[in-house]
Amino acid sequence: MPELPEVETVKNILKEMTLGKKIKSVDVLRKQTIEGDADLFASSLIGETFSDFGRVGKFIIFFLTNNKVMISHLRMEGKYFLKDEKEKLTKHDLVVFHFTDGTKLIYNDTRRFGRIKLSSIEDYMKEEPLSKVGPDPFMMKDSKILEKAFKNKSIAIKTALLDQSIMSGLGNIYVDEVLFATKVHPETPAKLVSKKQLNEIWKASIDVLSNAIKAGGSTIKSYHPKQGISGNFQVNLKVYGKKDGTCPNCGCKLRKIFVNGRGTTYCPHCQKNPAIPTLIGVTGPIGTGKSTVTKYLEKHGYFAINTDEIVHILYKEKSIQNDIKKFIPNLKIKGSDIDRDFLRSYLIKNPNKKKRLEKYIHAKVVEQVEKLVKVSKKPCVIEAPLLFESGLDLICDKIIYVDAKKDTQIKHLESRKSDVKSSLELNKNYNTSNKKKATHIIINDKDVANLYKQVDSIFCK
Ligand SMILES: [Zn+2]
């Protein structure tokens, strides 16, 4: 469906092609396309001239002589063609305006959802459909209309912005672009979007729409009337329709969801929903005190998500086992579970398969963690040594990296009766450069009271 920028472009092309043309007669080939009496519509237009063109939301306004106004909405597939009289009509030509200069303007619509209505200069804004169309972002002086309308609305901000009676002009494509530009999660309850964010949404709407209008403007020059004026132009889109793409800001994989039935693409990292509890990631090498930090947060009301447990459950699922069998065909199943002893020794012998399995299972774990956070009533904490490698970092709101000197690590490992030598060996390969990606770093070289104090200081801020 064409959106505001495309409709604006169609309007501009129509103006360039038909301004000043005088109507000789009108043929309505499908009466339902006309709102109101089709015969009266046709006879009223005889002898009138197209004197100007306008647009309200996604409606094209034809201003005619004698204070007459024609309103056209293209809906899904509506198109206008300007042709010579001698050219034959085609199957989906629904309304034909014959001009006195030997040309004709044809309204063509394969889906037949488009509508045309005749009104007058006095009434066209007062009666439906235009009486129900809110101002577009270009007509607004500020974002007060949005503030007022969304104040008590629990519906998703995307759905609220698509409601043309509040602010018109954003359709499914550009609303995704605007929400991406303003870093607002499309499912955020409208009332939780701050005044500051609403102001940004309004401004971004102007930016996004005017860029698209500019892009459409350049197509006017190359426009060929035979192609029909459909308004489906290619515009520079960042997220819409790019569900397999990556975020141009953070590199995170974009995600597609459905919001009130409408396909929606967004970045799970850049666009956070404040209605979903926060997720704190705790990471760092072995023996630094990650578990102590996690348990401390748990004691203070956080829900601890255990990734080992998630993997355990996932491995028992038949669909997961079948997926893994696609790249490890001889995978052994013990009872209903994957044979862990087999898997461990197999992966040691096949490092490439190990990488493949990790990539696969990490994505599944991230999915499960997101689901758990979404239904959690409390803020959540997740402890994962490979937080960055697994992609879990991208869904965390805060990341605490716990570090400690080697001596401290040994002390911790000994007190836990862990295998000190093999743990330190694992730590040798630990990617410490991820530390700079963390939002908070805790150095745990003093006592536990000091550790707690450092955690407290993060949350006091
Ligand atoms: Zn992003």
Tens digit of each residue's pLDDT (9 = 90 or more) over 225-269: 556 655 555 567 888 878 778 899 888 788 888 999 999 999 988
Confidence (pLDDT) at 3: 82
Q: Are 193 and 161 in contact (CB under 8 A)?
A: no
CA 372 – CA 13 distance, rounded (Å): 52
What is the identity of the amino acid at 452?
A: Y
Distance from Cα 88 to the centre of ligand 1, integer Å: 51
Q: Which residues of the chain fall below pLDDT 70?
A: 217-235, 460-461
CA 162 – CA 132 distance, rounded (Å): 13
Confidence (pLDDT) at 77: 83
Q: Is 196 a catalytic residue?
A: no
Q: Is 3 a catalytic residue?
A: yes
Confidence (pLDDT) at 105: 95
Tens digit of each residue's pLDDT (9 = 90 or more) over 64-114: 999 999 999 988 888 899 999 999 999 999 999 999 999 999 999 999 999
pTM of the model: 0.72
Confidence (pLDDT) at 252: 78
Confidence (pLDDT) at 239: 84
Distance from Cα 246 to the centre of ligand 1, integer Å: 8
Confidence (pLDDT) at 211: 87
Q: Are 396 and 280 in contact (CB under 8 A)?
A: yes
Confidence (pLDDT) at 395: 87
Q: What's 172-195 look like in SS3?
A: HHHHHHHHHHCCECCCCEHHHCCH
User: Per the residue annotation, which of 11, 58, 79, 117 is the catalytic one?
Assistant: 58
Confidence (pLDDT) at 354: 93
The secondary structure of 195-224 as a DSSP string is: HHHHHHHHHHHHHHHHHHHHHHHHHHHT--
Rounded to the nearest 5°, which phi and psi values hold at 194?
-70, 165
Distances (CA, A) of 411 to 296, 406, 408, 414, 447: 20, 9, 5, 5, 12
Confidence (pLDDT) at 228: 60
Distance from Cα 217 to the centre of ligand 1, integer Å: 30
Angle CA 306–311–313, to nearest 5: 95
CA 51 – CA 369 distance, rounded (Å): 60
Q: Is 127 a catalytic residue?
A: no
Distances (CA, A) of 50 to 41, 85, 95, 97, 373: 15, 18, 16, 11, 58
Please name which of 388, 150, 436, 441 lies closest in space to residue 269, comparing C-alpha atoms: 388
Q: Are 107 and 31 in contact (CB under 8 A)?
A: no
Confidence (pLDDT) at 229: 58
User: Per the residue annotation, which of 191, 203, 253, 262 is the catalytic one?
Assistant: 262
Q: Is 262 a catalytic residue?
A: yes
CA 419 – CA 413 distance, rounded (Å): 7
- Per the document, the length of the chain is 461
Token representation of residue 434: 């991820």
CA 16 – CA 225 distance, rounded (Å): 11
SS3 82: strand
